[in-house]
Chains A and B, each alone.
Chain A
């Protein structure tokens, strides 16, 4: 549930609970994207290295 949904009750427990949930989910998404981007950049750099040798 998001804070802008009409069912959202503005209470401290809900902010802590849902905040922790979204913190975990966002962390996981960032880690996955970071790894994928690094892997992609490695691949590009290797290709560049390979081309510069020729």
Chain B
């Protein structure tokens, strides 16, 4: 590209890469601001007019926001798990995707915290959970771990910003980025510790509800089995989400950014973990079916109210579980890009469905004989304020892709 046709901000692009004209970049950022502003209005309505502008009620204190929160945090597990595989297991090839996994992780965790900021209704009192911490609560552990892990992700993202072509020319920032990279295994280890506990504790929240046979599980010490199932499902799904977002980015950029063998490693690991998860989840389900009837909550009662029929169980474990697992396990199927992406979509949909079931359906199943089934559908305020963070995340990805060296193989795959 000659200097006359190069975008005026080309001096900020990663070395040896090509980006679209600045006006097109600005156009797409402006387009994303449309739905983003609708979300901002919805969030302001929640803060200004209180949560009765939503369809949350006493039957459903946990609705779309919490289900989306749990789902997004599980999808963000790609960051900690890829970091674990790269820096602790030492899989060298993953250095080519770990940067992008971090960017996706930052967005996922910022989204989760943003949604919680809207959900608590009075964000000015958000600090209460930190100061007046109920240390016996799984949710407190989640709040602490998510906050600390978000700090870890920001520290992991920081050297990427410092490696911007112009910032990196300054000696101090260059050195800082270099030393942060050196410290990355320690930072990744802290991230693994935090992620393990908050992913698990999110599962522990429904698992300890002994008054709700649909969700309650026995377990190991203070941790119900759902604790371990949530950790396993998150690390089985997170890499698939990283693959999916990388694929979407490649389609938007119109070029390949990561080599096929790197994607294949992540997909293979994800497939194996998904199989382990499905086996344990099936064992858990069988045991739960057997035990539920004995405690006075027959299995059929869990699926007696529409829309939560038996199809929910079949879809979650079969269509969104077994099918992607089979695809991800097969080396031939993984090589076909469209099939691989379908598997990733199914896997990610499965994790959202699982989180929805464990939060919303858990609350939907009547517990007392005099309880009536009440249905719940989120309204536009809940949808708009949830998706607001998705659009903001897309803008962060666009900025990161344009100005930061997040794909080390881009130059080699797309010579100028």
Contact = CB atoms under 8 A, between A and B. Distances in A.
Contacts of A28: 148, 151-152, 155, 187, 190
B175 interface: yes
B359 to A, nearest CB: 24
Given A17-B141, A28-B155, A31-B183, A42 B148 contact: no
Contacts, number: 63
Interface in A7-45: 7, 11, 13-14, 17-18, 21, 24-25, 27-28, 31-32, 34-36, 38-40, 42-43
Interface of B is mostly: helix
Nearest to B132: A7
Nearest to B184: A31
Contacts of B190: 24, 27-28
B340 to A, nearest CB: 36
Contacts of B175: 38-40, 42-43
A53 to B, nearest CB: 16
Contacts of A21: 144, 148
Contacts of B140: 17
A27 B130 CA distance: 19
Interface string B185-212: 0110010011000000000000000000
Nearest to A36: B176
Could you say which interface size class chain B belongs to?
20 to 34
B312 interface: no
Given A34-B183, A35-B183, A43-B171, A25 B132 contact: no
Nearest to A21: B144
A12 to B, nearest CB: 10
B131 A39 contact: no
B304 interface: no
A14, A17, A39, A42 — most chain B CB neighbours (10 Å): A39
A40 B190 CA distance: 25
B172 A43 contact: yes
Contacts of A46: 171
B342 to A, nearest CB: 39
Nearest to B189: A27
A31 B155 contact: yes
Given A34-B183, A43-B175, A25 B148 contact: yes
B179 A35 contact: yes
Given A31-B155, A31-B187, A24 B179 contact: no
A1 B186 contact: no
Interface in B316-359: none
Given A17-B144, A31-B183, 11 more contacts: A7-B131, A17-B135, A17-B141, A28-B152, A28-B187, A28-B190, A34-B183, A35-B180, A39-B174, A39-B175, A43-B171
12 contacts: A1-B130, A1-B132, A17-B133, A18-B133, A24-B194, A25-B151, A27-B186, A28-B187, A28-B190, A35-B183, A38-B179, A40-B175
10 tightest CB-CB pairs across the interface, nearest first? A39-B175, A35-B179, A39-B176, A17-B135, A42-B175, A38-B179, A43-B171, A14-B135, A13-B135, A35-B180
